[in-house]
Amino acid sequence: MALPTEPVGQAPQISIDDFSFRRGRKFGTIIVDLQTHKMLDVLPDRTKDSAAAWMAAHPEIELVSRDRGGDYASAATTGAPQAVQCADRFHMLKNLGEAVEGCITRHLAAKRKAHSPDLPEDHQPIEQAPRPARRSPKVERLQQAYREERLARYEQVIALRMIGMSHPAIAERVGISDSTVSQ
């Protein structure tokens, strides 16, 4: 950072992200030109005020590619209100992966529940203890879908045991290991 940098020319499309000078201790912000893929500037911190000030000094900015964090979103809104904001490639694929994973998990749980034999009336489902809501709604939905899928798998194993199927046959049918069925 002590070295002199070339003056920043016109940069209508930028990408902004944080990085670590020292792992877990000191963070900075890197700004890259999306057209030339060259680094434009390195800011000494990752605050929204310094990023907004940098963007305000560059009124030609039309596009800001950023992560999902709120600091850079508010910095772009403040410093470059004319710019369109979008997620960077990594976070775009991460969002897509999470959405597909949640959808598949929900459908798999529904399929397992529909294909499992009926449980006897004396069978009580497992009560789940409520968890403190400290996670994002997206993470909570994904974890709930996982829980539903595991519960559907458990109920399918119990129902197949009740009708007298062997452990290896249950394991093959449900798609889990024989040792998991026998536990």
Would you state the pLDDT for residue 98? 87
The pLDDT mean for the chain works out to: 83
Nearest to 41 by CA among 2, 8, 19, 12: 8
Q: What is the mean pLDDT of residues 71-76?
A: 89
The verdict on domain 13-87 having CATH code 3.30.420.10 is yes
Would you say residue 1 has pLDDT above 60? Answer: no
Residues in the chain: 183
Work out the pLDDT band at 53, boundaries 50, 70, 90: very high
Q: In one letter, which amino acid is 161?
A: R
Would you say residue 66 has pLDDT above 70? Answer: yes
Nearest to 102 by CA among 153, 143, 154: 143
- Largest alpha-carbon pair distance within the chain? 77
> pLDDT tens, 84-119?
999 888 888 988 998 898 888 888 888 877 776 666
Residue 88: CB atoms within 10 A of its CB come to: 17
Would you state the pLDDT for residue 181? 83
In the chain, ranges of CATH 3.30.420.10 domains: 13-87
Q: What is the mean pLDDT of residues 5-34?
A: 83
Would you say residue 179 has pLDDT above 80? Answer: yes
Max mean pLDDT among 5-9, 58-62, 111-115, 122-126 falls in 58-62
Quick check: 42 and 4 in contact, CB under 8 A?
no
99 versus 2: the higher-pLDDT residue is: 99
